[in-house]
Amino acid sequence: MRAGLAVGIASVIALCILGLFASDYLLEIATLVLIESIAVVGLGFLTGFAGRISLAQGALYGVGAYAAALLVTRTGLPPLVGLPVAIVAASVIGTALGTPAIRLSGLYFVMSTIGIQQILWILLMHWSSLTGGPQGVRGIPALSVGGLVLDTPARFYVAALIGAVASYLLARRVIASRFGLFLRAVSDDELASATAGVAVLRAKATALALSGGWAGAAGFLHAYYLRYVHPDMFTLDLSVVFLTMAMFGGYRSLEGMLLATVILGGASEYLRPFGQFRLVAYGGLLVLSMMFFPRGLLAVLPIRWRR
């Protein structure tokens, strides 16, 4: 564990230093990557630990963003109230829609998450009375936490950093808990888990609820980062990006997922001058990584992460 802890602390310090000296542009990218890492870690409960892949994380991320945006623009409540609402909303919708499907085999579950993603997107786009439909939701005020208004890239970066670190630490505790153990057992062998006394369906539903909750929290930050939400930000493409980062990050490795988010998040920005080629490279990265190291990034690196 020594090595893991040292690397962890070092990276957090590095991220703080980055916050102090980096230009606003780098901060904007870093903030987006940190926010996306929360949604990817949430998805990791399903892909990395429950052995299920979901293509609805983008829509649940959107549910969180809309919950935060609508709450602050339609009611007088302070922004921070939006965080628990976003988490609960995304978690409840994710669980309600996902649980009936999670009983199905892996392949059928993926299929149903595509349906869920598209249905949620269509509702965001066409339920105009609630979501503002194609106009999106504008005029989201800057996030203010106890009087401190986070309206500059640097300040918001700090909020995103705290969010991402908290998300990672909480996720580690979830995986270390008995639920995490049961989840891994279910992913290895559902039947044996049942006859070993594990409530299989409840474990899967909890994984769904957690991944939805994390997506909601990330959506909340997204809403206050862009201060404008629009249905086209939460399409199937976003779910593909999140799934890629989670799968690329690897099996049973939260650290791998964070690393993948940084690499792929950064790549989509760094490759920007290449215009269209950027997306071709992105697709290629995806295919090649699945062809040559399906167990994900850290499975390739020699160091053994003792858990």
Burial 34-48 (b: 16+ CB within 10 A, else e): bbbbbbbbbbbbbbb
Give the footprint of another protein on residues 257-276 (CB under 8 A).
269, 272-273, 275-276
* Other CB atoms within 10 A of residue 23 CB: 8
Give the footprint of another protein on residues 159-218 (CB under 8 A).
170, 173-174, 176-179, 181-182, 184-185, 187-189, 191-200, 206
Whose Cβ is closer to another protein: residue 163's or residue 231's?
Answer: 231
**At residue 44, what is the residue type?**
G
285 forms part of the interface with another protein (CB under 8 A):
yes
Q: Which of 60, 83, 230, 264 binds another protein (CB under 8 A)?
A: 230
> Which pair of tokens denotes residue 296?
């994900």
Give the footprint of another protein on residues 55-94 (CB under 8 A).
none
Q: Residue 229 carries which DSSP code?
A: B
Q: What are phi and psi of 78, to 5 degrees?
A: -65, 150
**Whole-number Å distance between alpha carbons of 58 and 213:** 13
11 forms part of the interface with another protein (CB under 8 A):
no
CB 27, CB 19: distance < 8 Å: yes
Q: Considering the complex, what minimum distance in angstroms separates the CB of residue 24 from another protein? A: 5
Q: Which of 6, 130, 151, 162 binds another protein (CB under 8 A)?
A: 151
> Which range binds another protein by CB under 8 A, 10-18, 88-96, 156-164, 235-243?
235-243
Q: Considering the complex, what minimum distance in angstroms separates the CB of residue 81 from another protein? A: 22
Q: At what angle do helices 236-249 and 254-270 cross, to 10 degrees?
A: 130
303 forms part of the interface with another protein (CB under 8 A):
no
149 forms part of the interface with another protein (CB under 8 A):
no
114 forms part of the interface with another protein (CB under 8 A):
yes
**Whole-number Å distance between alpha carbons of 108 and 104:** 6
